[in-house]
Chain A
Amino acid sequence: MEKSEAQVADEIQWIKRAQQGEAEAFGPLVQKHQHRVFSLVYHLVRRRDEVEDLAQEIFIKAFRAIRSYNFQSSFATWLSRIATNHCYDYLRHERASRVSFYWQMGENSQQELETNAESQPEQGLDHEEQIVLKDLVSKLLDRAPEDDRKILALKELQDYSVEEIAEVLRLKPTTVKVRLHRARKRMLKDLRRWREENEGHAM
Chain B
Amino acid sequence: MRCDDVRDQLDDLWEGEVPGAVRQHITQCAGCARYHRDLRLVRAGFRLWKYEEAPEPSLGFAERLVRQLSAMSKGPSVTDFFERVGRRFVYATLVLTFLALLALALPPTGPVRGLSAADIQISTQEASLAYSDLMGESNIQEFPEQAPGEAPAPTVPNEAK
Measuring CB to CB, which residues of chain A are less than 8 angstroms from any residue of chain B? 21, 23-24, 26-27, 30-31, 34-35, 38-39, 41-43, 46, 48, 51-52, 55-56, 59-60, 63, 113-114, 117-118, 120-122, 125, 130, 133-134, 136-138, 140, 152, 156-159, 181, 184-185, 187-188, 191-192, 195
Pairs across A and B, CB under 8 Å, 25 listed: A24-B66, A26-B66, A26-B69, A27-B62, A30-B62, A34-B57, A34-B62, A38-B55, A42-B55, A46-B49, A60-B68, A114-B37, A114-B41, A118-B44, A121-B44, A121-B47, A133-B44, A134-B45, A152-B46, A157-B50, A188-B7, A188-B38, A188-B42, A191-B42, A192-B38
Give min CB distance, A72 to chain B, whole Å. 24
Q: How many residues of B contact A (CB 8 A)?
A: 37
Residue interface bits B27-68, CB-to-A below 8 A is 1, else 0:
000000011011111111111111110111110011101101
Bound together, the chains give a CA A32 to CA B61 distance in angstroms of 12
Q: In the complex the two chains form, is B34's CB within 8 Å of A192's CB?
A: yes
Known: A30-B62, A133-B41, A140-B42. A181 touches B57 (CB 8 A): no
* Residues of B with C-beta under 8 A to A187: 42
Known: A26-B69, A34-B57, A59-B65. A188 touches B49 (CB 8 A): no
* Residues of A with C-beta under 8 A to B73: 21, 23
Bound together, the chains give a CA A23 to CA B139 distance in angstroms of 92
Q: Is the interface of A mostly helix, strand, loop or mixed?
A: helix
* Residues of A with C-beta under 8 A to B46: 137, 152, 156-157
Residue interface bits B3-43, CB-to-A below 8 A is 1, else 0:
00001000110100000000000000000001101111111
Bound together, the chains give a CA A128 to CA B54 distance in angstroms of 19
Other CB < 8 Å A-B pairs besides A38-B57, A159-B50, A192-B34, 6 of them? Answer: A24-B70, A52-B55, A113-B41, A117-B44, A134-B45, A137-B49
Q: In the complex the two chains form, is B61's CB within 8 Å of A52's CB?
A: yes
Bound together, the chains give a CA A59 to CA B63 distance in angstroms of 12
- Going nearest first, the 5 A-B pairs with the smallest beta carbon separation are A137-B45, A117-B44, A42-B54, A23-B69, A156-B46
Q: Which residue of chain A has the shortest Cβ distance to B58 in the bound complex?
A: A52
Known: A42-B55, A181-B11. A156 touches B50 (CB 8 A): yes
* Residues of A with C-beta under 8 A to B72: 23, 60
Known: A51-B55, A52-B55, A188-B39. A134 touches B66 (CB 8 A): no
Give min CB distance, B33 to chain A, whole Å. 11
Bound together, the chains give a CA A192 to CA B41 distance in angstroms of 12
Q: In the complex the two chains form, is B66's CB within 8 Å of A125's CB?
A: no
Q: In the complex the two chains form, is B40's CB within 8 Å of A181's CB?
A: no
Q: In the complex the two chains form, is B54's CB within 8 Å of A38's CB?
A: yes
* Residues of A with C-beta under 8 A to B34: 192
Known: A26-B66, A60-B69, A121-B44. A35 touches B49 (CB 8 A): no
Bound together, the chains give a CA A133 to CA B50 distance in angstroms of 13
Give min CB distance, A129 to chain B, whole Å. 10
